[in-house]
Amino acid sequence: NAGVTQTPKFRILKIGQSMTLQCTQDMNHNYMYWYRQDPGMGLKLIYYSVGAGITDKGEVPNGYNVSRSTTEDFPLRLELAAPSQTSVYFCASSPRPYGYTFGSGTRLTVV
Amino acid sequence: GQQLNQSPQSMFIQEGEDVSMNCTSSSIFNTWLWYKQDPGEGPVLLIALYKAGELTSNGRLTAQFGITRKDSFLNISASIPSDVGIYFCAGRGNRDDKIIFGKGTRLHILP
């Protein structure tokens, strides 16, 4: 099994550009999550989903959007990139609301 | 909101030493989790704890769910070079569909 796959692994964006971070899992997990990790700050929850068609805000949702049209996919959208969104983004999935499996991350730099 | 305080922020130890780190919360949790993150990778689940007072081992790692349900600790015995990384605690409340993370403990092993 591939587990949780994130693409791209690295990206540089200019201020004001938009992009979508892709996340796919092949474990048929209902729960999916997006976190951002800043140095020394741990993991902050951006958005999460408890099943297809259901999404909810986490701690730091401003500047981001998500959708969950299928069980497998949970893309994260940045509409107007800002330097404050420079971070490492992790997607995770789980069959229950704990015990996550994480992807390997997307390192995003906004310049 | 719920917060997790994880300490220490970083540790420098000699190979072979034992390690102890802990996590405290401002509110009661029903699940405590410990993750390890290697450089360039997503966090990986080490130990999950589901009951107050529970003590669980995974090889050289031992973790306990505090009886107050507001704290947990992780011990690593006889550290080896591959133990280097960032260790995160995480917790989930009773009705939550998500977990929150501590800021991590960065473990360094001196040659």
Chain B residue with the nearest C-alpha to that of A45: B100
pLDDT digit of tens for each residue in chain B (111 aa)? 667 899 999 999 999 999 999 999 988 999 999 999 998 899 999 999 999 999 999 999 999 999 999 999 999 999 999 999 999 999 988 777 778 899 999 999 988
Beta strand A4-7 pairing with A19-25: antiparallel
Asked whether the beta carbons of A72 and A57 are under 8 A apart, the reply is no
> Which residue of chain B has the CA closest to A105?
B42
Per the listing, tokens 């992009």 go with A19
The β-bridge relationship of strands B105-110 and B85-92 is antiparallel
What pLDDT score was predicted for residue B1? 61
B99 contact A CB<8A: yes
Residue A58 with chain B: CB contacts under 8 Å: 98
Predicted local distance difference test score (pLDDT) of residue A67: 97
The answer to whether B1 faces chain A, any CB pair under 8 Å, is yes
Confidence of residue A39 (pLDDT cuts 50, 70, 90): confident
Residue A40 in this model has a pLDDT that exceeds 80: no
Q: Which residues of A touch B97 (CB under 8 A)?
A: 31, 48, 50, 56, 97
**DSSP secondary structure string for all residues of A47-96:** EEEEETTEEEE-S--TTEEE--SSSSB--EEESS--GGG-EEEEEEEESB
Q: Chain A: residue nearest B50 by CA?
A: A98
Other Cβ atoms closer than 10 A to A80 = 10
